[in-house]
Structure 1
Amino acid sequence: MSAQTTERPGRGPTAAESQKVLGVLLSEDERPTPSNAFSASITFGWRAMLKIKHIPTQLFDVTIFPIIMTVMFTYIFGGAMGAVVSGTGQTGGVAISEYVQFFIPGIFVQTLIMITMYTGMTLNKDISKGIFDRFRSLPTWRPAQLVGALLGDQVRYALAGVIILGVGFIVGFRPEGGLAGAAAGFVLLLVFSFCLSWVWTTISLLLPTEEAVMGVSMTIMMPLTFASNIFVPTETMPDWLQSVVDHNPVSVVVTAIRELMDGVYDLGSMITVLIYCAVLVAVFAPISMVLYNRKS
């Protein structure tokens, strides 16, 4: 005689039962508030800062590089370049002193915009490790993952800027605009650096490796920084080159920073910089998001 087991067909919980269970587990006043665009961006920005905390060697480029560049150009090239800038042909300590007033705002800009390249390299490394695949599965504002990374890098930019100005004061830089002018120039440069970072974000999403990102970024940045008015005035250059250098975005930013640090608040120069910022974000931020959403 064989025994037969009769199984009742299973059924899932009804809607009322599900609501009752949810009501017990999580009451209305305990439900977490969904993250908005701002809070999500701040959260991912805090993640970028924690990476710096746990891997402090990432700060090497923003601490040592600015000091080396400032001291080298001040004391090795300052005498010769100072003679060119002053137009007197006089070299030595006087020329260096005059050149420092011209040069520090320029190297201030060069250092920060060069550091923005590391944003793309860091992002490319994170994506290659697969961490952003997890981020994209989260119910958050999608651009927050990129915006937060760029906001976190603002700390690195600010640190580099403080070091540059500190070394500049040590070697004799005295901005005529005082602390207010230096602070205004600092803020304007941080805004431009944030917007420029979207360019390297796009490049990091297009290229497969960190080394490729570094190579392309340097190829773009070297002409922009050296074919500018960072080191010498454009009046010392050939006529055909002056117009190109004057319209270089780096030259436009350097001119605005120099004016602010000299206490000259030229609204036209500041608006021009902000227009460049708006164009960079309007062009490269959407491209970055399209590439990011398609990244696998």
Structure 2
Amino acid sequence: MSVMTDTTPGTRAPRPTGGLSQSVTDSLVIAKRNLIRMARIPEMVIFGLIQPIMFVVLFTYVFGGSIQVGGSTSAAAYREFLMAGIFAQTVTFATAGAGAGIADDMHKGLIDRFRSLPMARGAVLTGRTLADLVQTALTLVVLAIVALVVGWRVHENIGKVLAGFLLLLLLGYAFSWIGALIGLSVRTPEAATSGGLIWLFPLTFISNAFVDANQMPAFLRHIAEWNPFSATVQACRELFGNLPPGFQASDAWPMQNPVLASVLWSLLILVVFRTLAVRKYRSASV
């Protein structure tokens, strides 16, 4: 029996999947594809900017001067106290968009096309989350400019300020993997959007983002103090120099060591949900 081999010029055998270099290359290709898509649909970015800008304006001018922080009801003090919370809320709310995007690709059959290609299994999700990270970074830049316009100021050196924004991006990237898992687990983009927002509201509001957690009832205060979101907010306030005069952080470990707590929480969320999302992607492709 003879074995026939295809020697037609221009045909190639599928590349073997696996290997770090291929995974990185494939992830960057997918990220580029998603960034090009975002550039061609600018309303995706524009609408993503409207909500955080509205939060900045509304909280600054509606609630500023009526909420007590550090024993003061000064509008200027609350404005600086508020901005770290708005920044953190913005990067976490991007989770819903990440989930909706992946669910949309699933619904249109694009993910099935990617599965048929000889590429690293986790590259599709990694590329998507990297593209979302770039969009989140651009949103933070615009939001910071708006915050400066309404009177927000930083009182630390540039190194600490950049460290604060890096913590925000790390938190946003970690949460984007939660969105990826949600997007793979639902049938429609609408369900992914709803599923991505339902749990975000209690997460962000039962925290120190908008009010001093020390003023909450005891059971809510403990939740807020150990909330991963609160750790990043508190860390950013310290790194930006935005803690109000007379403000006393609670004795809870995350509030006494917010930078370390923020990094640990973000890395834990990233490892756990990336593992679950990639596993979900692989099991769905069997």
- Cα deviation 1:172-202 (Å, max 9, x = unaligned): 1111114322211111111111111111111
Q: Residue 295 in 1 paired to residue 284 in 2?
A: yes
Contact 1:61/1:115, CA 8 A, preserved across alignment: no
Aligned to 2:263: 274
Provide the TM-score with structure 2 as the length reference. 0.86
Q: Residue 85 in 1 paired to residue 69 in 2?
A: yes
Residues 178/62 of structure 1: CA separation in 2 closer, same or farther (3 Å cut): farther
- Cα deviation 1:66-96 (Å, max 9, x = unaligned): 2111011101111212xx114245xxxxx21
Aligned to 1:5: none
**For 1:37-186, what aligned pairs fall within 5 Å after superposition?**
37-81=23-67, 84-89=68-73, 95-186=74-165
Contact 1:205/1:292, CA 8 A, preserved across alignment: yes
**Cα displacement (A) at 1:40:** 1.0
Task: Work out the CA distance in 2 between the residues paired with 1:14 and 1:216.
Answer: 52
User: 1:176 aligns to what SS in structure 2?
Assistant: coil
User: 2:199 aligns to what SS in structure 1?
Assistant: helix
Task: Work out the CA distance in 2 between the residues paired with 1:268 and 1:75.
Answer: 31
Contact 1:59/1:156, CA 8 A, preserved across alignment: yes
1:227 pairs, out of 189, 206, 221, with 206
Larger radius of gyration: 1
**Cα displacement (A) at 1:13:** 7.6
Contact 1:67/1:164, CA 8 A, preserved across alignment: yes
Task: Work out the CA distance in 2 between the residues paired with 1:127 and 1:219.
Answer: 21
**Cα displacement (A) at 1:14:** 6.1
Aligned residues: 269
Letter in 2 for 1:75: Y
Letter in 1 for 2:121: R
**For 1:28-43, what aligned pairs fall within 5 Å after superposition?**
36-43=22-29
User: 1:270 aligns to what SS in structure 2?
Assistant: helix
**Cα displacement (A) at 1:61:** 3.0
Aligned to 2:273: 284
Provide the TM-score with structure 1 as the length reference. 0.83
Where do 5+ consecutive residues of structure 1 fail to align? 1-10, 27-31, 90-94
Letter in 1 for 2:271: A
Aligned to 1:191: 170
Q: Residue 262 in 1 paired to residue 241 in 2?
A: yes
**Cα displacement (A) at 1:279:** 1.9
Letter in 2 for 1:286: T
Aligned to 1:246: 225
Identity of aligned residues (%): 32
Residues 262/291 of structure 1: CA separation in 2 closer, same or farther (3 Å cut): same
Task: Work out the CA distance in 1 between the residues paired with 2:284 and 2:208.
Answer: 38
Where do 5+ consecutive residues of structure 2 fail to align? 244-254
- Cα deviation 1:247-273 (Å, max 9, x = unaligned): 011111111111111299x99432222
User: 1:85 aligns to what SS in structure 2?
Assistant: coil
